[in-house]
Structure 1
Amino acid sequence: MGRDASGPRVVVGVDGSPDSHAALRWAVRYAGLVGGGVDAVASWELPGAYGWSAPAVDSDFDEETARQALAQELTDVLGAEGAASVRALVVRGNAVDVLLRAAEGAEVLVVGSRGRGGFARALLGSISQHVAQHASCPVVIVRPEVL
C-alpha cells in the first residue's frame, strides 16, 4: 500500500462528492507534510437499515461493488500512483459511526463540507458537523476548490 504504519495516520471520508474529492487531496498533501499515511474510508449501508423507508435499492450493490467504486474514485482523483499510496477501507455502517471509529488514534480526520446526502443549501453537512463535534482527534472540514 506504500504507507508507513508507524507515522501519523490521516483518515479521510470519501463518498464520491466533489467536497470529498477536495478533502482527499487535502489529506494526501497533509500526510506528505507530516510523513504520515492516509486511510481513505467509505461507508456503505442499505437504505432503511436504520428504520426509515427508502426507495428501492439496486440489489447488486454490495461490499465488493463499494470497494471497486472507492478504488476507481481514488484513481480518478489522485491518479494511479497517488491511489496506490492510500489505504482504501470500505466499512458497512452509518457514515458518522464508521468515520468516528476509523479516526480513533488518528492525527486528524478530514471530511468534505457537504457530501452526497442532505440538503443542498446547508452550509455544513450533517456528517461533517457530527464528526466535528464527536471525534477523538482534530477534524478538518474542506470546502471544494473553486475554479
Structure 2
Amino acid sequence: MSTPDKPVVVGIDGSDDATRAAGWAVTEADRRQAPLLLVIVNDDPARTSYAEGAVHRTADKCRAMAPQLSVDVELASGRPVEELLRYSRQAQLVVLGGRGHGGFTDALLGGVSSAVATHASCPVVVVRRGVPTTAGPVLVGVDGSDSSTAALRFAFEEAQLAGAQLLVVEVWHEGDLLAGPLRREESDRVQEDVERSLADQVSAVQEQFPDIRTRLLAQRGHPVAALTDAGRDAQLLVVGHRGRGEFGGLFLGSVAAGVLHHAPCPVAVVRHAAARSS
C-alpha cells in the first residue's frame, strides 16, 4: 500500500538510463501522491562536482515534468549498495535505471541493482532501455510462493493506481515436476491443476480490489521467456524476489534475475515481509 509520507527514491548516476528511470518515477510518485527523492552515491571526492551537477540536472527535468511534485536531491558518500539499502528503509519504492556509465557504472544494473533488489526493505523497480509506456496492462508472474503473493498484492495496487488491467501469469514446465516429457493426458491434468491454483491465488487478493479488471493466464513454457514475451505489451512486470523451491534468501531468484535482464518493460521486484525482516 502506498504511504504518501514516504518518498519514491531514484538512484541517479548521470546516465541516460538513470534519467529515464527518474522520468518513470515522476509518474509513479505523482500517482502515489508521494515526494520524489533523487540520490546519487559518490565514492570518490574527485567526482563530487560531477555528481552534484548530474543529480541537480535530473531534478530540474523532473520538476519540469511535474511542477506540482515535491522533488528533493541528496548526494550520499559510500558504497552504492549500502547507501541505496539504507534509503530503502524509509522509501515506499526504489527506482533504478538499466545501465550506468563512466565512473558510476556499477551503481545501477549489474551486481549492485541485483543486491538492492535482493535485500531492499521496499519494492525495487528497474527501468530498462527504451521508452516506458503508460499503456498496456500491469503484468505479474506468480507461483504460489510467499514472494509471489507479495508481488501479486503489489501488482493489484499498481493496477489500481494506473487504472490499468492486471494480467496474472503462472508458467509451468516439466522441470517443475522432476519428470521427463509428459503424455498428453498428463499435460492436460497439470494444466488444469495450475489453472485452479492460479484462480485460488488471485481470489485470495482480488476481493480487496473489486474494480480491477483481471485476466488469468496459465501456460506451459519457461517462466523467464513467457514473462518476457508477455511484457512486450505491459507497462510494468512484477515478480517476487524468490520463487517456490529456490534456495535461501542471499541471492536474487532465477526468474527475477532473468526478467530483470531481458524484459522489455520496467520490472518491479517485491520481497515478502518475512524476507524483508531477515
Question: Once superposed, which parts of structure 1, at least 4 consecutive aligned residues long, lie more than 4 Å away?
Answer: 80-84
TM-score under structure 2 length normalisation: 0.44
Q: For 1:122, which of 250, 271, 274 is the aligned residue? A: 250
Asked whether 1:72 is paired with 2:200, we answer yes
Note the alpha carbon deviations across 1:14-33, whole angstroms, 9 max, x for none: 10011101111111111111
**Relative contact order (C-alpha < 8 Å, sep 6+): which is higher?**
1
Aligned match of 1:47: 175
Q: For 2:227, which of 83, 96, 99 is the aligned residue? A: 99
CA contact (8 A) 1:75 1:83 kept: no
User: How far apart are 1:84 and its partner, in Å?
Assistant: 7.5
Aligned match of 1:23: 151
Give the residue type in structure 2 aligned to 1:66: V
Give the alignment's Cα RMSD to 1 decimal. 2.7
SS in 2 for 1:69: helix
The number of equivalent residue pairs is: 137
TM-score under structure 1 length normalisation: 0.80
SS in 2 for 1:71: helix
Aligned match of 1:108: 236
The answer to which structure has the higher helix fraction is 2
Asked whether 1:131 is paired with 2:259, we answer yes
Q: Any gaps of 5 or more consecutive residues in structure 2?
A: 1-134
Compared CA separation, residues 84 and 38, structure 1 to 2 (3 A): closer
User: How far apart are 1:48 and its partner, in Å?
Assistant: 7.8
Give the residue type in structure 2 aligned to 1:87: R
Distance in 2 between residues matched to 1:83 and 1:100, nearest whole Å: 27
Q: Is 84-93 or 130-139 further displaced after alignment? A: 84-93
Q: Any gaps of 5 or more consecutive residues in structure 1?
A: 1-6
User: How far apart are 1:85 and its partner, in Å?
Assistant: 3.5
Note the alpha carbon deviations across 1:102-124, whole angstroms, 9 max, x for none: 11121010000001132223331
SS in 1 for 2:251: coil
**Larger Rg over CA atoms:** 2
Distance in 1 between residues matched to 2:212 and 2:240, nearest whole Å: 21
SS in 2 for 1:88: strand
